[in-house]
Amino acid sequence: SQWGEENLQALSIQEGEDVTMNCSYKTYTTVVHWYRQDSGRGPALIILIRSNEREKRSGRLRATLDTSSQSSSLSITAAQCEDTAVYFCATELNMGYKLTFGTGTSLLVDP
């Protein structure tokens, strides 16, 4: 799992497997963003989940949010090679103007 103070996590899976990445955060938030970053590029938002949603799906992605335990997860079903990237969670502070990013999970999907 990723956390503001942990080192970058790394996962390696085979194509077709399911994978779940976890994110724990310290400060109360009502929104968690999940971004993916491909090598040599800037991060891009893939899913955003609000506290009143608890679970959100987008294609093969599924995000959950548990504000009581201050944790979120991102699952990818039937991972593909093109899912290889670094995945960051980010939480909102300061009335939504500021995002605090986790340290990221590096996912490698082998063919």
| Residues in contact with another protein by the rule CB under 8 A | 2, 4, 7-8, 31, 33, 40-45, 48, 88, 92, 95-104
Taking the complex as a whole, the smallest distance from the CB of residue 14 to another protein amounts, in Å, to 25
Nearer Cβ to another protein (30/80): 30
Nearer Cβ to another protein (45/108): 45
What token pair was written down for 108?
């490698």
Nearer Cβ to another protein (42/111): 42
Q: Please check whether residue 105 is in contact with residue 8, taking contact to mean a CB–CB distance below 8 angstroms.
A: yes
